[in-house]
Amino acid sequence: MSLRKPAGKRRSTDSGVEPDRGALSQEKKDQRIALFLSDFDQQAKENIQEMKKELDSLLQTAEKAFTVELLKMPPAIRKMKRKDLL
C-alpha cells in the first residue's frame, strides 16, 4: 500500500499580488499608501457615526425605561429627591 496523496491540483505559489510590485516607483507606492489611508479614514468615520447612532438609540431606550419605572411609583415617591429616596 502506498501512502502517497492522490494526484490532484497543486496550489499555486502565486499570492495573487501583482508580480512586479517591487518594481513600482516610490511615487506610485506613496499614492497607493495615501489612497489606502484615506479609505481607512473614511471607513473609521462611518463606523464612528454608526456607533454614535447606536449610542443615541440605547440612551433613548434607557430614558424610556426610566420614565416607565417612574410612572409605576406612587406620586409621593416620584416627587421625592433621589438623595432623600436613597
Residues 6+ apart with CB under 8 A from 70: 78
What one-letter code names the amino acid at 61?
T
Residues 37 and 29: their CA atoms lie apart, in Å, by: 12
Cell numbers given for 8: 490532484
Tell me the per-residue pLDDT of 1-57, one tens digit each, with 9 for 90 and over. Answer: 556 666 656 665 655 555 555 567 999 999 999 999 999 999 999 999 999 999 999
Cα-to-chain-centroid distance, residue 25: 34
Residue 78: pLDDT band (50, 70, 90) is: confident
pLDDT of residue 17: 56
CA 19 – CA 12 distance, rounded (Å): 13
Indicate if the pLDDT at residue 80 is higher than 70: yes
How far is the C-alpha of 27 from the C-alpha of 33, rounded, in Å?
10
- Per residue in 52-77, pLDDT (tens digit) is 999 999 999 999 999 898 889 888 88
Cα 73 to Cα 75: distance, rounded to the nearest angstrom: 6
